[in-house]
Structure 1
């Protein structure tokens, strides 16, 4: 479950432990499946245009090292793109998720606990859509 913290862009954020869908354990044994946690941002884009997408990665001592492979799925005019962020390097700063064309109805960003690593910190906070000229 997402845990609340009082640090972040707007004075609050959430974090959880990452999980990796693959397994290096004994594949013939049944394993407990931990459901993935998901966060979604659906901004109100005023007009069609090109926007740079940024994710704020907060930092607080929570007993976890940050994920090396936090993933963001960006839904835009041309389809979907996956951006991977090393949250260890980006903490307390804005991570660049790329520049995309959006319409007012298709802008959506998703992130969650499924990452490229396991047992590391995953933070969710603010997403910024910065118009590009």
Structure 2
């Protein structure tokens, strides 16, 4: 499955990209790279229209033209069934060929997406955007995870998956006492047998402080889609917990960045930025 920059599955804020006359179908778009988060303006994404569930290698084509040298650090964000992975590609080294972004499973959970922006670790180079391809590798295998304690002094467990395409999980056990039973009983099923959705909780009058325990995206809405991504949060960032929403089996937190730790990504969210994050990213 190939999605070119001229196909319906490609999206970009066109006013920040320039059209160039080479590449797949004889054209691609490019933007000038920047290492400054506040100056980053260009965004683009590829979404395959039809993709059968399974394992795919993802590749992107780097066109061999243009007066400006291609960036050495284009950052791609790949949304797959197990979350979002980041891959940095030296576009200059892959000029005129297909660069692999890795192998992942797609089609069973989140919308398959590849995203890129003009934010890199170098300045005044070309970020070239052309075609992305999902290359079938086979049906997804069922993986069984094993729980391994980090050490005796901490309550953390690391969950390594046997399938290398799946990222490790870090699970933190809480030392808090068990919570009291909920005063409100579970929602009763409707006559059709489908339970009514639980209402979202109200905003917190006195926001508490939480700590980010896992890298992820701060989003404009409680939705795991490319269009909602604002910036990344990093482990040990401090956030104010403003609100919680329960959507089906997942919970989302409305947060405001209180303080930031060491940068884990160029698009690290700045203080006072508000947005939504999955509750698994934050410990209170």
Structure 1 and Structure 2 fold alike (TM over 0.5)? yes
Is 1:17 aligned with 2:40? no
Any stretches of 5+ residues in structure 2 without a counterpart? 1-15, 139-284
Structure possessing the higher radius of gyration over alpha carbons: 2
Is 1:103 aligned with 2:118? no
How many residue pairs match? The answer is: 122
Root-mean-square deviation over aligned CA pairs:
1.5
CA-to-partner distance for each residue in 1:56-96, whole Å, 9 max, x for gaps? 0002132x221110010000000000011101100110000
Partners of 2:40 and 2:117 within 8 A in 1: no
Partners of 1:70 and 1:86 within 8 A in 2: yes
**TM-score normalized with structure 1 length:** 0.86
Partners of 1:69 and 1:84 within 8 A in 2: yes
Deviation >3 Å, runs of 4+: none
Q: 1:79 is matched with which residue: 76, 83, 87?
A: 83
* CA distance in structure 1 between the aligned counterparts of 2:99 and 2:66, rounded to whole angstroms: 19
Q: 1:44 is matched with which residue: 40, 49, 70?
A: 49
Higher RCO (CA-CA < 8 Å; seq separation 6+) = 1
Partners of 1:16 and 1:113 within 8 A in 2: yes
Secondary structure of the 2:92 match is helix
Report the CA distance between 1:130 and its aligned residue. 0.2
Report the CA distance between 1:14 and its aligned residue. 0.5
Counterpart for residue 56 of structure 1? 61
Secondary structure of the 1:43 match is coil
Report the CA distance between 1:112 and its aligned residue. 1.4
Is 1:88 aligned with 2:92? yes
